[in-house]
Chains A and B, each alone.
Chain A
Amino acid sequence: EAGVTQSPRYAVLQEGQAVSFWCDPISGHDTLYWYQQPRDQGPQLLVYFRDEAVIDNSQLPSDRFSAVRPKGTNSTLKIQSAKQGDTATYLCASSWGFAETLYFGSGTRLTVL
Chain B
Amino acid sequence: GDSVTQKEGLVTLTEGLPVMLNCTYQTIYSNAFLFWYVHYLNESPRLLLKSSTDNKRTEHQGFHATLHKSSSSFHLQKSSAQLSDSALYYCALSDTGGLSGKLTFGEGTQVTVIS
Contacts and interface: CB of A to CB of B under 8 A. Distances in A.
Partners in one complex: yes
Nearest to A44: B105
B105 A43 contact: yes
Interface string B86-110: 0000101010101111111111100
Interface string B70-99: 000000000000000000001010101011
B3 to A, nearest CB: 11
B44 A41 contact: no
B44 A107 contact: yes
B85 to A, nearest CB: 19
B5 to A, nearest CB: 11
Interface stretch (A12-20, A68-76, A77-85, A97-105): A97-105
Contact of A100 (B101, B104, B106, B108): B101
A45 B93 CA distance: 12
* Chief secondary structure at chain B's binding surface: loop
B98 A99 contact: yes
The number of chain A residues touching the other chain, given as a range, is 20 to 34
Interface string A1-34: 0011000000000000000000000000001010
Interface of B: 4, 9, 33, 35, 42-47, 50, 90, 92, 94, 96, 98-108
23 contacts: A40-B9, A40-B108, A41-B108, A42-B4, A42-B90, A42-B92, A43-B45, A43-B105, A44-B105, A45-B102, A56-B100, A56-B102, A98-B99, A98-B100, A99-B98, A100-B33, A100-B50, A100-B94, A102-B101, A102-B103, A105-B44, A106-B42, A107-B44
